[in-house]
Structure 1
Amino acid sequence: MPSSEQSELLATPCVTCREHHLKCDRSVPRCGRCVRAKRDCKLGFKFKPSKDQRWLKPPRTLIYIDETRDLSNGSATKDTSQYDVQVDESHSRDQSSSSASVTPPASSHSRRRDEARDQSAVTAQGQRPPRRHDVFENDRISAPEVHAHREPPPTRSADPYNMNDRSSPYLPPPRNAMSGNFPNVPNLPLKNRTEAILFRHYIQKLAICLDLCDPLRHFELVVPERAGGSHTLLNAIFAIAARHLSHTTDFDPLASNRYHDECLKYLIPMLDHTSTVSDENMFAATIILRMLEEMDVPTTGQDTYSHLLGIHAFVNVGDHHMIPGSLSAASFWVGLRQEIYIAVITQQPVKLSLEHYVVDRSFEATDDYTWSNRAIVLLADVLNFCFGGNPSTPSHWTALDEATVRWSTTRPPSFNPFFYRERTGSLAFPEVWHGSSCHVIGIQHHILAQLFLIQFDPSIPKVGTNRRAAVKQMTHRIENLVRELCGIGVCNQWTPPAMFTACMGIAMFGDQFGERPDQEALLDILRRTEADHARPTAAIQQQLLRAWGWVPEDDE
């Protein structure tokens, strides 16, 4: 008869058979299958707690955190649901007969996530709602980690430019918390060398155009990592890189279309689902495809704004998905700059919603990136004043003008160029050197806001003897600001959007330059921007040539 210890061993199949998914005869000391296969037979053990086992006593109140509800039902509800459960003290001792167990210690990743929210919680395992299996499995983002235990952000003042507003900025979570816990998937490393070249070109040459005011450089660092788990995001990277290379080199002009079509095959149906428009991977992919759409204008002959409408869908989903410091917030700022470009060129208001907590209109001390984003928001407000449907009032203009002055006087001194030289007789623009892209973009958008306010100044007489002098002074101020705007662009071409923004100013105010050397210098910026950076400027060039009288008005 086997001993009591052997009886326990006989009750459990050997480890070797379990690993090979074989039926074990549970013989001792070696099972029959292992003997016949000449394998080492490792006996399995069945542990049984002793009667005097001491169990940990859980707290009386357990907090259950459901992070999957929003994704499972596709609704935009509150961030998390918390349930307070009273635990019977007798349950703490009689654990051996219960199927429920206290959750093991949280992983290091979970601990970092909880520390990012400055709260701690004891969680217990409970029945979670089943995850919905979408058709687009590879493109579904994991549950947003920054939702749990997030306090609602403090409300801002109703006055967008309230000088007494002292609400503190919402601090972004650590990088680990916002990057997401994405598993290793077969998208990366790439096996096709051409696609690897496209991937590298996006990281080294194009991401800089998107990460201007993002200290965490999401589109350079996070998006390539996320592309490993999202086919749509990966194809968007391939599409934009292929399109840029086809415009600036002899790269295959049809390659981008294949990747673009692959994106649209999945992206367009997904925009109809609430859960999809909260997916920041898809948001980032739409931003990249909008950049491609801007490059395609010379080829298609028009801008359809298709992906701009997709951006609106992601932005309108609400604040609870646009956490400061997240990829969604970074995508929002890029989308706002893209929207401003369209608003300037078409002379229309900014249609993207600006009623989000990440939008900051205060003048409190903060980092340089936030100051740049404040200048961008200020320009959007100015454009809405100039081109909005509601009648503008002098008091509204005065408030915006005071805001531009306040931004200029309270911004950090780091926005000052590290080299500045006034233009000479042979140069059309001053030399202005900056060391950071956020300084370049912040100053340039602030200059554009001033330009539009000068152009729409209600104090300029519509008629009368004083109008001529007022218009002359206005033109002089506009010329000086446009020269500075272009000087920043020409001297900081290491960040291509400096040239893009200069082109916006030229498109709106270039017609006010009457001297031939100045006009040629403005045209040179437009031509270089299109040749070097694949940004469409041909239509702007033709408009200016007609305005300057270089070609007849009816000449196409």
Structure 2
Amino acid sequence: MAGSLGSAWSSPLPSLLPVSSPGANPPAAEDDRESPEGAPAAPPPAVQYGFGVPLNTHKEANYFMHFIRNLASWFDTCDPARHFGIEVPKRAHHLPLLAYSILAFSARQLSLTTGVDDGSHSSYYSHALRILIPIFDDPNEAMNENVLAGIVILRSYEEMFEGDVNTHLTGSSRLLNSESRLIARGGLGEAASWVVLRQDLYVCLTKSLPLRISLESYRHSSSFVETNDHALANRAVFICARVVMYAMGPDTTLDPDLWDELDRDMKSWFESTPWRFLSHTAESSAINDDTDTAFPTLWMARRVQVLGYQHYYIARMILDMFHPKLWKPSFEAFRSRALTQDHVRESLRILLGLTVSNSGDATVNFTAHHTLHAFGGFLRDTQEHEEVLRFLRYMTQTMGWPTQGLADKLREQWQHAKRSPGNEATSPHGRGPRQQQAPQSGVWGSGGG
């Protein structure tokens, strides 16, 4: 374990929740006892900063357990060891930065879903910042997987606000870019690094900004050695990040050779992945199963597989949009752009079909939400619009995720498209000229890359 913040792990861990009743004090950990010479040990870091030891009240224990039971999975979708659900809560009892990060995020999410806000999340967030900011003044202290995990959680706290300015993504990117060994060591550092990459992709999709993270260190991840579902999903995220860097990098030139390389990587990933859809079209779904959905029904065995395919289709959409031939000054390029819109719309419908068919995972919902920011305007069918807006309301009601800004943005784009000539709806629901089909794979069909 890197860095001085991990030194407390030389002593046995206390029980996860030492709160027996509201207001009860936890038993003293070994680090808080007197030294053999009789001199008192140094106060815990939180006390040094002028506020009490975290996880010391019934309310904080409730927030802590809410994180373990309901929110840690938001980070652990691609991590079979579930470091944020198991390891981070253990370390939080010795590391106030992790504890206050958890409390801030959990309290904020609960306030949004219950409508009851006692303001405590702001205090916890401030406490975490007072611990975190001085750490970055000491490079040796900052190069630590515990710090990175804390930043990841604080970043999620920031995302719960409509006016998110991605402050802590800057910190996590700087830490990863300066300390590439974190991901190669495995464990919490590797797990947190993959979450940071997904958070960076979120900003790229929603704000059309280039990646801040250097991708070279990710090549040392065990995900490029292992063959389990989580590793395969991480590889799709990595390829998607390379595609984003190709399209929106600071020195983008839309290199045809690089486009071909990325296209081959995407097809190779798709063809070598052993996952399978159980799929049929939206029309047959509505007729046979009375399923009220505008999108293809695409069931998957595991939600981590859904996440992998989502990033495949994001990359597919970006490659289609940023094909070098589309940006040449020619009439052929102009005609090709119209066809490209159909390809992008097809991939988006598949991604949304995967999302609504396999609901229940927060990370899957996030990915769809972020994708709608970038590509939602391509949808032309009223039934699809209505379902997307229902999906966004569902995210807000069940997860507390702010979606009103995106909903307003999409309504404006859809209204503009209706007023523009040549943008008539090409409905996949039997009301227009084009009958769109869902992809099939494995024993259910021949696949589609």
Is TM-score (shorter-chain normalized) higher than 0.5? Answer: yes
The amino acid across from 2:403 in the alignment is T
**1:487-526 paired onto structure 2 within 5 Å:** 487-526=353-392
Indicate conservation of the 8 Å contact 2:16/2:89, yes or no: no
Cα distance, 1:396 vs. partner?
A: 1.1
Q: Does 1:207 align with 2:72?
A: yes
Q: Aligned partners of 1:382 and 1:277: how far apart in 2?
A: 30
State the distance in 1 between where 2:191 and 2:10 align: 19
1:261 matched to 2:126? The reply is yes
Q: Aligned residue for 2:276?
A: 416
Instruction: Give the Cα separation in 1 of the matches to 2:295 and 2:183.
Output: 40
Deviation at 1:365, TM superposition (A): 6.9
- Counterpart residue number, 1:282: 147
Residue 352 of structure 1, aligned match among 207, 210, 213: 213
Partners of 2:260 and 2:224 in 1: CA distance = 17
**Residues of 2 paired with 1:323 and 1:389: CA distance?**
27
CA distance in 2 between counterparts of 1:328 and 1:505 reads 27
Q: 2:54 maps to what in 1?
A: none
TM-aligned CA distance change 1:358 to 1:456, over 3 Å: closer
**1:329, 1:358 within 8 Å by CA — same for their partners in 2?**
no
1:249 aligned to which of 114, 118, 139: 114
Alpha-carbon distance, 1:314 to partner: 2.3
* 2:12 is the alignment partner of 1:183: yes
Deviation (angstroms), 1:227: 0.8
Q: TM-score, normalised by structure 1?
A: 0.63
The answer for the alignment partner of 2:170 in structure 1 is: 309
Counterpart contact for 1:523–1:541, Cα < 8 Å: yes
Q: CA deviation at 1:506?
A: 1.6
Q: Which residue of 1 aligns with 2:445?
A: none
From 472, 485, 498, give the equivalent of 2:351: 485
CA–CA separation in structure 1 for the residues paired with 2:3 and 2:69? 34
Secondary structure of the corresponding residue to residue 246 of structure 1:
helix
Do the aligned residues in 2 keep the contact of 1:361 with 1:378 (CA within 8 Å)?
A: no
Identify the range of structure 1 (523-532 vs 501-510) with the bigger mean alpha-carbon deviation: 523-532
* Deviates most, 483-492 or 365-374: 365-374
Post-superposition offset of 1:276: 1.7
Read off the aligned partner of 1:293 and give its amino acid letter.
Answer: E
- Show the counterpart of 2:266: 404
Cα distance in 1 for residues equivalent to 2:229 and 2:158: 30
**Residue in 2 that maps onto 1:4:** none
Match of 2:321 among 431, 455, 459: 455
Q: Is the 8 A contact 2:158 2:164 kept in 1?
A: yes
User: Which stretches in structure 1 are left out of the alignment for 5+ residues?
Assistant: 1-66, 73-139, 144-179
Tell me whether 1:196 sits opposite 2:61 in the alignment.
yes
User: Quick check: 1:427 aligned with 2:293?
Assistant: yes
Cα drift, residue 471 of structure 1: 3.0
What is the alpha-carbon distance in structure 2 between the residues aligned to residue 470 and residue 195 of structure 1? 57
Shift of 1:236: 1.1
2:326 touches 2:334 (CA, 8 Å); kept in 1?
no
Distance 2:408 2:310 in 1: 24
Q: CA distance change for structure 1 residues 363 and 515 in 2, over 3 Å: closer, same or farther?
A: same
Judge which range, 447-456 or 533-542, deviates more.
533-542
- Offset of residue 467 of structure 1: 4.8
Equivalent of residue 539 in structure 1, options 405, 409, 416: 405
**Residue of structure 2 equivalent to 1:216:** 81
Relative to structure 1, the CA distance from residue 322 to residue 477 in structure 2 (aligned partners, 3 Å threshold; closer, same or farther) is closer
Q: Return the offset for 1:256.
A: 0.6
User: In 2, distance between residues paired with 1:410 and 1:213?
Assistant: 19
AA of the residue aligned to 1:212 = T
Superposition deviation, residue 317 in structure 1: 3.5
List per-residue Cα deviations over 1:399-419 (Å, max 9, x = no partner): 1111111110112x1x223x3
Out of 157, 162, 169, the residue aligned to residue 292 of structure 1 is 157
* Deviation at residue 484 of structure 1 after TM alignment: 1.2
Judging changes above 3 Å, is the alpha-carbon distance between structure 1 residues 364 and 416 closer, same or farther for their aligned structure 2 residues?
A: farther
Q: Would you say the 8 A contact 1:187–1:231 is kept in 2?
A: no
Q: 1:268 to 1:233 in 2, by over 3 A?
A: same
Is 1:549 equivalent to 2:415 in the alignment? yes
Cα distance in 2 between the residues matched to 1:281 and 1:360: 18
Shift of 1:237: 1.0
The number of residues matched between the two structures is 375
Deviation >6 Å, runs of 4+? 361-365, 550-553
Which residue is equivalent to 2:204? 343
Partner secondary structure for residue 240 of structure 2: helix
Deviates more, 1:314-323 or 1:470-479: 314-323
Structure 1 pair 475/252, CA: closer, same or farther in 2 (3 Å)?
A: same
Deviation at 1:457, TM superposition (A): 1.4
Higher relative contact order (CA 8 A, sep 6+): 2
Contact 2:325 2:333 in 1 (8 A): no
| Larger helix share, 1 or 2 | 2
Which amino acid is 1:475 matched to? Q
Structure 1 position 359, deviation (Å):
4.7
Aligned CA-pair RMSD: 2.7
Match of 1:528 in 2: 394
Q: Does residue 393 of structure 1 match 2:260?
A: no
CA 1:469/1:71 → structure 2, altered by over 3 Å: closer, same or farther? closer
Q: Which amino acid aligns with 1:263?
A: A
Residue 227 (structure 1) aligns with:
92
Task: Kindly state the Cα deviation for residue 253 of structure 1 after the two structures are TM-superposed.
Answer: 4.3
After TM superposition, the structure 1 stretch with the greater mean CA deviation from structure 2, 460-469 or 225-234, is 460-469
TM-superposed deviation, 1:431: 1.6
Structure number, greater radius of gyration: 1
Equivalent residue for 2:439?
Answer: none
Q: Aligned to 1:333, which of 167, 183, 194?
A: 194
Query: Contact between 1:209 and 1:497, CA under 8 Å: does it hold in 2?
Result: yes
Q: What is the distance in 2 between the residues matched to 1:550 and 1:461?
A: 24
